[in-house]
Amino acid sequence: MEQIVPIDEDDIWNAIVARNAEYDGVFYYGVITTGIYCVPSCPSKRPSRSSVRIFGNNEDAQAAGFRACKRCKPDEIVERMQKIHEVMSVLERSQNEILSPSQWAASAGLSLDTLRKLTIAYAGLSPRDIIHHQKMNAFKLSIKNGNEISASQYDAGFGSSSRLYEKASTLLGMTPRQYKEKGKNVRIHYAIFETKLGMAIIAGTEKGICSLQFDDSSDTLFDLLQKEFSKAELVNDSEPLSGWMKMLNDYLDGNCKKLSIPLDVHTTAFRAKVWEAIRRIPYGETRSYSRLAKEIGEPKAARAVAAACAANPVALVTPCHRVIHEDGKTSGYRWGIKRKKILLSMEKENAE
């Protein structure tokens, strides 16, 4: 449904003024005086704000009587997104047969170079990276079903244990056996400390933090960590984490606007893509679940985006508190609505 740009829709208007290509396909704007509609990156002269109408898709723009711009060709954005979904469906249908990038391209009727351009535009990942994620997810599922590592390795498409272990540190953060055994032989340092949002627990390996959570009870926080990493060596030692703890407290005091803290988290390719998109939301701004879904190339996946937010294991560093309902209402938050409102208010107050 069309709408006149409200005065408080600064992010939309700024995207148009800045010709921000990251918003292409997220929304379209029609210009009343010319009767055409464009994507935000269109090189044409910027219209006045009062003459702009916003549309969620090109069909709504057409239904309102606008025609496609001949310079930015907005309909091609739609065609490209449809092509991306077709290409991804080819991979999804091959779950029982792990494809190589060349086989994937051939099955989709594309050259390998075209496939690579599409997947990078869609997920920010090369075909090879996406396939590695697919293999690792298949390996994880097999392990959870009780299969041995060697059988799971070959079922998932890893031709040798060396290839599996090579990718495990990137995609799992732990070796396959450590993952199967819930962190066995992995040393995780943790600290429970007091913040403006109540008690917090931070835990991390030598690669980065794997958990950052809030609660009113220190015992509850430790129980959550112990349940998640039941066989890891949990070391109550704040010293290796002290720099990150200081950064977190500086952030909560409004003196730090970007948390440059490395992560060691385990997730699916889809959730990784959602969390990366969340980390790109500027300090002091918010996004709706539906808008995030569009930004990652999955316009119908708003509920899945919400689920990814709920599964986020590292508060603040992946700032899922910046994701709200489309109507502007503060929605659910893993660590409580009250904390979410405090964070949003604090960021808005301290944003430049």
Highest mean pLDDT among 100-109, 171-180, 266-275, 318-327 belongs to: 318-327
For tokens 């989709």, name the residue: 108
Mean pLDDT of 15-38: 84
**Half-sphere exposure at residue 303, Cβ-oriented, CA atoms within 13 angstroms:** 1
Residue 135: what pLDDT? Answer: 66
- State pLDDT tens for residues 129-150: 777 766 666 666 665 566 554 5
- State pLDDT tens for residues 163-212: 444 444 444 454 445 555 566 677 899 999 999 999 999 998 877 888 99
Mean pLDDT of 264-286: 83
How far apart CA 108 and CA 33 sit, in angstroms, is: 42
Look at 7-16, 243-252, 260-269 and tell me which has the smallest mean pLDDT: 7-16
The whole-angstrom distance between residue 316's C-alpha and the CA centroid of its chain comes to 14
Asked if 234 contacts 188 with a C-beta cutoff of 8 angstroms, the reply is yes
How far apart CA 291 and CA 188 sit, in angstroms, is: 36
How far apart CA 17 and CA 265 sit, in angstroms, is: 37
Q: Which fold has domain 187-243?
A: Double Stranded RNA Binding Domain (3.30.160)
Residue 173: what pLDDT? Answer: 52
Q: How, if at all, do strands 36-38 and 28-31 pair?
A: antiparallel
What single letter denotes the amino acid at residue 169?
A: S
Residue 179: what pLDDT? Answer: 53
Q: Give 56 or 340, the one with higher predicted confidence.
A: 340
Asked if 101 contacts 129 with a C-beta cutoff of 8 angstroms, the reply is no
101 band by pLDDT with thresholds 50, 70 and 90 = confident
Q: How much is the mean pLDDT over the chain?
A: 79
- Residue spans of alpha helices (H) in the chain: 10-17, 58-63, 75-92, 101-107, 112-123, 127-144, 149-155, 161-171, 176-180, 218-228, 242-252, 269-279, 289-295, 302-310, 337-350
pTM comes to 0.53
- Judged on CB neighbours under 10 Å (0-12, 13-18, 19+), 71 is exposed
Residue 1: what pLDDT? Answer: 35
Residue 41: what pLDDT? Answer: 82
Highest mean pLDDT among 105-109, 191-195, 303-307, 309-313 belongs to: 191-195
Asked if 131 contacts 100 with a C-beta cutoff of 8 angstroms, the reply is yes
Mean pLDDT of 237-264: 89
Phi, psi of 70 (to 5 degrees): -80, -10
Look at 8-17, 83-92, 172-181 and tell me which has the smallest mean pLDDT: 172-181
Question: According to CATH, where is 3.40.10.10 located in the chain?
Answer: 3-73
What's 24's DSSP letter?
A: B
Q: Which of 122, 97, 141 is nearest to 270 (CA)?
A: 122
Q: Which fold has domain 75-180?
A: Arc Repressor Mutant, subunit A (1.10.10)
How far apart CA 200 and CA 316 sit, in angstroms, is: 11
Domain 269-350 in this protein, CATH class: mainly alpha
30 band by pLDDT with thresholds 50, 70 and 90 = very high
Question: According to CATH, where is 1.10.10.10 located in the chain?
Answer: 269-350
> Catalytic amino acids?
38, 320
Q: Which of 80, 63, 70, 7 is nearest to 42 (CA)?
A: 70
Residue 176: what pLDDT? Answer: 47
- What residues have CB less than 8 Å from 186, skipping those under 6 apart? 174, 178, 205, 229, 232, 233
**DSSP result, 186-241:** -EEEEEEEEETTEEEEEEE-SS-EEEEEEES-HHHHHHHHHHHTTTSEEEE--GGG
Domain 3-73 in this protein, CATH class: alpha beta
How far apart CA 72 and CA 59 sit, in angstroms, is: 16
Question: According to CATH, where is 1.10.10.60 located in the chain?
Answer: 75-180
Question: According to CATH, where is 3.30.160.70 located in the chain?
Answer: 187-243
Mean pLDDT of 279-297: 90
